[in-house]
Structure 1
Amino acid sequence: MRKSIKYPVPKSSVICAAAGILLYAGLMIWQGGKWMPVSSLQRPAHGDGELLYEVIVRELGEEGREIPVTIPVGERQYSDEEAEALYDAVFPELTERILGGNESLEAVRSDLDLVRVLEPYGLTVRWESENVERVDTFGTVVNSGVPEKGEPVWLKAALTDGVHTREYEIRVTVMPPVLNGDELFQEKIMEACRRLDSVQKTDNQLFLPEEVAGKKVSYYRERETDYTVIPVLGILLAFLWAARVKMNEQKVKKQREQLLLLDYSEIVSKFMVFISAGMTIRTAWERIAAGYEKTVQTGNRKARPAYEEMCHTISQLKSGMAEGRAYGEFGRRCGLQPYVKLAALLEQNRKTGSKNLKSALELEMVSAFEQRKNLAKKLGEEAGTKLLLPLFLMLGVVMIMIVVPAFLAIY
């Protein structure tokens, strides 16, 4: 069986707990329990507001009922003598507190701090201004256009504790702002414009002063039309143009590949005919290219990329290029797998002999015609898809022709 481990309790902890219990019991006995008898309630100081006291009212007599009551006690009010003495003492402090960031009331250049409540005394202050355009009741100072000697403004402060009220009049002198070189010149420009504005009130336009403080000046306004969109459009157009060129290149490349695939089966079949007739590969090549050039010259056929590459190959052979290399470059220029395969087939049979070339061409021709059939089917599907847009447009026109007269007939 596992034994439990016992930890000894320090004697100092027991002594502290016992001392606390004994002290609490002694205080309760000395004060007569939790509730002590009272005959008065302490009134809160002026400005502290109303205070609520929870008391138990015991009825004297045989029944001896106990009733809990919450008694509100209002804050203490100043006597007439106390209020007079307080106002005399508070006024100098008030004139100091309203200065804000100004050095004195005789040189006011920034906003005043017109306090509304004097916290330590429980007094409220109501302000009035004889010239709200210079100093309003919130202490905001407007000193633009003030003469150098300053402009006096009288403020009225009404102090009250809720019962007693005293009014004071405080004189402040609003001084012009301290301006640096640019700000001073700006103020002179504004003053000159104000003078001209008062003179030219009947004119359709305000003609600005040409000279301020002995200096010639000119004026500029921001353009109402913003032309910054033009370079943005130019950059966008450049990207679109590059994309258009790229798309055209891809379109031309796709059309060339389609023409190459369409002509492949025809070229293979011609090769098979000429090879079957006993011609060599080069002779058959020359006959096919010559026939194409004749039909193009007579206008019976448009230029086709596969035959053009064959004519280019004839030129290379006549210039002395090796026959195998010329066929290989023909396949690479065409860039499609069937032509690369045909070039490799011709090169291989040129080296080993053309006895197996006919059977190889027959197999290639079957594959080429199958590819051409699939390509023709694909092109037909694409043409049908392109026709959907005009069909939908025609459908929309028909719907408008049907629906509009119906609505007109109803309404």
Structure 2
Amino acid sequence: MKVKIDEKQEEISISVSGKKYDEEELKNAFSEAEKEVEQAVLGKNKSLDEVRSDLNLITSVPEKNMKVSWELDRYDVMDIQGHLQQDNLSTEGTLIKLTAILTYEDEEERYEFYAKVFPSELSADKEEMRQLQEKVEEADKKTKTKDYIVLPEQVNGKKVIWAYGVQTRAYGILVMGIGFAVFVIISSSQKEKEEKKKEFREMKLDYPQIINKFNLYIKSGMTIRKAWFKIAGEYEKDQKEKEQISAKACGRKKAYEEMVNVMYKISGGASEGECYEEYGIRCNLSEYRKFGMMLSQNLRKGTRGLTELL
């Protein structure tokens, strides 16, 4: 803006802070914000009673000057960004509790509501193929003791025509080759699943150790960042010492490796709160998701009350 004092004219910048709510206004503002949040999260869905696409877990309500963070009771069916985990959804639907934590300056309001999530709807063609596959599986069960299978002639009211290939020697070899390839793929997939289970078991065992260390450092007066860097730094140093002895003796641990990854991201200038939340998502276990979310939410408060939460 321009200002004129006597005959002298100057330009001046004026910052106007937002209106501060009194107690009654804040109560109403929280109530209105809750309605806006519940409407905004729908995304492409028509109702929370039938959620088939990702929810829009907003991080702020600008009109009310409020920030929003989230807690879920089922991180296996939806992540903290609102993305549905399609592999874990059932056709009967899964009820999930969402908690929106509304923050205005030092005031906080928790708003809980529920959504029923379902797998994404298939296109008409894909739905017909799914129904046909179910019919084939059902026919296979009925003729398990027979040397034949009666294939369905109709699906969804439409006629189905089956074409049978010629059983030549080359065709037989091709089938054998495909069968072997499928066996290799299944074996590889099974091995990968076993390794993943082993990794999750190890992470569950490491979790109380990490929390105890973190709590100890927080009680000694460290900030969240310093405590995180301390644990990650100690682990990294220990790993380097082990590597000098033997690469096999290294025994890298997923939960700690991700902590080191976060340490370098924060050191590189990444948002500290987002890094902690991302840590929980990458670990992909509810304990770690809650841990990361808790640290992110407590950044603005400092470590006050954090030891009790831990």
Coarse TM-score class (shorter-chain normalised): 0.3 to 0.5
TM-score w.r.t. length of structure 1: 0.32
**TM-score where L is the length of structure 2:** 0.42
- The higher radius of gyration belongs to 1
